[in-house]
Amino acid sequence: PPHAAARLALGVGGAALCCEALCASGVLGRLVGPGALFALCLLAVALLTAGADACLAAVTAVAEAGDGHRPRPRGQLRARPATVPAVAATAVLLALAVGTAGSWALPACCAPLLLTQFVLRRRAPVRATHRRTLASLARAPEVAGCTPCGHARRVADLSRAVGRELGLTGGELTALEYAALTHDIGQLSLTDPVPGGATAALEPGRQRRIALLGGAVVRQTGVRWRVASAVEAQADPYREQCVTARVVRTVNAYDDLTAGSHTAGPSARERALRTLRTATGRDHEPRVVEALSRVVSRAADV
């Protein structure tokens, strides 16, 4: 949106002008000099830039919503943990460029940044289309009676939580969610549905065939190749799987063992986790099982 580009230009440009005064040739630069005080001044500029960007984002969000609900600037800051230091670092570099080449360097350097943001914004509708497509695919096995209702969404939500527990971020979490949503697509190829949708009891050959067919369908959606690879690897030993496939496999088994019940008691949850721990020789990575155990324990305490 135009307001996002305007915020970027205002934030980076304003911080750059502030940092220019801190350069050796600037007014404050001659007073501050290099050292701890100079670093504190840079930090102050970064915080001011973050606060200004958060306030502008809250105002534009209210204008777009039109319902009188004003987002909190603190929440806007939490939503931009990586953007704030990136803007501050870019501003320092721009200030050095302006100090060397003059004020015309500011718009010249901002142009590539705005173009990059424009390209990234154009990708957002594509990602939204992928998400809707995969959500529809995830519902197909449920509508066909191959898997329990809500199974794919439960596995996806819990997989994201386990992925965060393991330190996954950004695109890794998105790929994990997509793989979890579509991990049962291959069951549509079965003539007779598996009771409860639990394919773990099938012979390895049939499990492998279901996984490969599911991966082939996912590849046709145009999502990242690692999503389809994670779906295809569901029947492989965990030592041959990527971390995405390992998480989906373990969380899927947990949901099958607890019958997808969010109200399962502590004994039922512990039995399910104990079953997973006993299968760590081939099927489940101990690190993933323990991460799942921590996530489930915290959810039960809430």
Give the model confidence (pLDDT) of 270-298 as tens digits: 999 999 999 887 889 999 999 999 999 88
Dihedral angle, C-alpha 147, 152, 155, 157, nearest 10 °: -160
Same domain, 202 and 87: no
Average pLDDT over residues 104-130: 69
pLDDT in the model for residue 58? 61
Same domain, 200 and 241: yes
The CATH number assigned to the domain holding 165 equals 1.10.3210.10
Distance CA 142, CA 125 (A): 27
Task: Give a yes or no: residue 285 inside a domain.
Answer: yes
Q: Identity (one letter) of the amino acid at 209? A: R
Q: Which position has the higher pLDDT, 102 or 137?
A: 137
Domain with 142 in it: 126-301
Q: Which two tokens stand for residue 295?
A: 């996530």
Q: Which two tokens stand for residue 56?
A: 């502008």
Same domain, 54 and 174: no
Task: Give a yes or no: residue 13 inside a domain.
Answer: yes
Task: Give a yes or no: residue 88 inside a domain.
Answer: yes
Chain-wide mean pLDDT for the chain? 75
Same domain, 86 and 160: no
Average pLDDT over residues 222-242: 87
Task: Give the chain's domain count.
Answer: 2
Same domain, 138 and 285: yes
Torsion region of 35: left, alpha or beta (phi above 0 gives left; psi -120 to 50 gives alpha): left
Same domain, 97 and 185: no
Task: Give a yes or no: residue 99 inside a domain.
Answer: yes
184-231: per-residue pLDDT in tens?
Answer: 888 888 877 787 777 777 788 888 888 999 888 888 877 778 888 999
Residue ending a domain, among 103, 118, 135, is: 103
Same domain, 97 and 138: no
Task: Give a yes or no: residue 135 inside a domain.
Answer: yes
Q: Identity (one letter) of the amino acid at 207? A: Q
Distance CA 112, CA 97 (A): 14
Same domain, 157 and 213: yes
Same domain, 151 and 294: yes
Task: Give a yes or no: residue 121 inside a domain.
Answer: no
Q: Helix, strand, coil % (nearest 5) of the chain?
A: 75, 0, 25
